[in-house]
Chains A and B, each alone.
Chain A
Amino acid sequence: MLMIAAFFLPTWDISLEAPQYPEGLGMQIWLNKITGDLGTINGLNHYIGMKKIEPDSIKELTIMPFILGFLILAGIIVGALGKKKLLTLWVILFVLLGIAGGVDFYMWEYDYGHDLDPTAAIIIPGMSYQPPLIGSEQLLNFVAHSYPAEGGIILIAAGIISLLALGYEATFNKTKTKKEYEKKDVKHSFISSFIHHGLVHHKP
Chain B
Amino acid sequence: MKSLKKLIISALTVILVMSAFTYYGCSTKKGSTGPIVGDDAPSKVYVPPGKYDEFYGFFSGGFSGQLAVYGLPTGRLFRVIPVFSQDPEKGYGYSEESKPMLMTSQGFIPWDDAHHPELSMTNGTPDGRWIFINGNNTPRVARIDLKTFRTAEIIEIPNSAGNHSSPFTSENSEYVVAGTRFSVPVGNKDVSIDSYKENFKGVVSFIKVDPSSGKMNIAFQLMTPPYDYDLSHAGKGPSHDWFFFSCYNSEQSNSLMEVNASQKDKDFIMAVNWKKAEEFLAQGKAKDMASTYYHNTYDEGTHTATSEILTSTKILDPKDCPGMIYYMPCPKSPHGVDVDPSGEYIVGGGKLSTVIPVFSFSKMLKAIEEKQIDGEMDGIPVLKYEAVIGGEVQKPGLGPLHTEFDGKGYAYTSMFVSSEVVKWKLGTWEVVDRAPSYYSVGHIMIPGGDSKTPWGKYLFVLNKITKDRFLPTGPELPQSCQLYDISGDKMQLLLDFPTIGEPHYAQAIPADLIMKNSQKTFKLDDNKNAYVTRNEKEARVERKGNEVHVYGTMIRSHFTPDNIEGIKLGDEVYFHLTNLEQDWDIPHGFAVFGNENSELLIMPGETQTIKWIPKNVGVIPFYCTDFCSALHQEMQGYIRVHPKDANVQLTFSTGSKPN
Question: Residues of A with Cβ closer than 8 Å to B?
Answer: 23, 37, 39-40, 43-44, 47, 121-122
Is A39 touching B582 in the complex (CB atoms < 8 A)? yes
Q: What A residues does B629 contact at CB under 8 A?
A: 47
CA distance A39 to B583 in the complex (A): 8
Is A23 touching B581 in the complex (CB atoms < 8 A)? no
Is B584 touching A47 in the complex (CB atoms < 8 A)? no
How many B residues, CB 8 Å from partner? 11
Q: What A residues does B583 contact at CB under 8 A?
A: 37, 39-40, 43
Is B555 touching A43 in the complex (CB atoms < 8 A)? yes
Q: Is the interface of B mostly helix, strand, loop or mixed?
A: loop
B630 sits at the interface (CB 8 A): yes
Question: Residues of B with Cβ closer than 8 Å to A?
Answer: 555-557, 581-584, 629-631, 634
Is B581 touching A43 in the complex (CB atoms < 8 A)? yes
Is A121 touching B631 in the complex (CB atoms < 8 A)? yes
Q: Which of A23, A43, A47 contacts B631 (CB 8 A)?
A: A47
| Nearest CB on A from B447, distance (A) | 28
Is B631 touching A40 in the complex (CB atoms < 8 A)? no
Q: What B residues does A40 contact at CB under 8 A?
A: 581-583
Q: What A residues does B631 contact at CB under 8 A?
A: 47, 121
Is A47 touching B630 in the complex (CB atoms < 8 A)? yes
CA distance A23 to B557 in the complex (A): 22
CA distance A43 to B557 in the complex (A): 9
> What residue in chain A is nearest B630 (Cβ atoms)?
A47
Assuming A47-B630, A47-B631, A121-B631, is B556 touching A23 (CB within 8 A)? no
Q: List 17 A-B contacts (CB under 8 A).
A: A23-B584, A37-B583, A39-B583, A40-B581, A40-B582, A40-B583, A43-B556, A43-B583, A44-B556, A47-B556, A47-B629, A47-B630, A47-B631, A121-B557, A121-B631, A121-B634, A122-B630
Q: Is the interface of A mostly helix, strand, loop or mixed?
A: helix
Our count of residue pairs bridging A and B at CB distance below 8 angstroms stands at: 20
Q: A37-B583, A43-B583, A44-B556 are in contact. List 13 more A-B contacts (CB 8 A).
A: A23-B584, A39-B582, A40-B581, A40-B582, A40-B583, A43-B555, A43-B581, A47-B556, A47-B629, A47-B630, A47-B631, A121-B557, A121-B634
> What residue in chain B is nearest A40 (Cβ atoms)?
B583
Q: What B residues does A43 contact at CB under 8 A?
A: 555-556, 581, 583
Q: What B residues does A44 contact at CB under 8 A?
A: 556
CA distance A78 to B514 in the complex (A): 57
CA distance A44 to B628 in the complex (A): 12
> What residue in chain A is nearest B631 (Cβ atoms)?
A121
Q: What B residues does A121 contact at CB under 8 A?
A: 557, 631, 634
CA distance A43 to B631 in the complex (A): 13
> What residue in chain B is nearest A122 (Cβ atoms)?
B630
| Nearest CB on A from B41, distance (A) | 31
| Nearest CB on B from A91, distance (A) | 44
> What residue in chain B is nearest A20 (Cβ atoms)?
B585
Q: What B residues does A23 contact at CB under 8 A?
A: 584
CA distance A2 to B73 in the complex (A): 54
Q: What B residues does A39 contact at CB under 8 A?
A: 582-583
CA distance A102 to B408 in the complex (A): 66
CA distance A121 to B556 in the complex (A): 12
The 9 closest A-B pairs by CB, nearest first: A40-B583, A39-B582, A121-B631, A43-B556, A43-B555, A40-B582, A23-B584, A43-B583, A43-B581
CA distance A57 to B555 in the complex (A): 23
Q: Choose among B583, B629, B630, B634 the residue with the greatest number of A CB atoms under 10 Å from its CB.
A: B583
CA distance A47 to B629 in the complex (A): 10
| Nearest CB on A from B392, distance (A) | 55
CA distance A43 to B521 in the complex (A): 16
| Nearest CB on B from A30, distance (A) | 20
Q: What A residues does B556 contact at CB under 8 A?
A: 43-44, 47
| Nearest CB on B from A53, distance (A) | 15
CA distance A95 to B560 in the complex (A): 49
Q: What A residues does B634 contact at CB under 8 A?
A: 121
Q: What B residues does A37 contact at CB under 8 A?
A: 583
CA distance A122 to B557 in the complex (A): 13
Q: What B residues does A47 contact at CB under 8 A?
A: 556, 629-631
Q: Choose among A43, A44, A121 the residue with the greatest number of B CB atoms under 10 Å from its CB.
A: A43
> What residue in chain A is nearest B555 (Cβ atoms)?
A43
CA distance A44 to B634 in the complex (A): 16
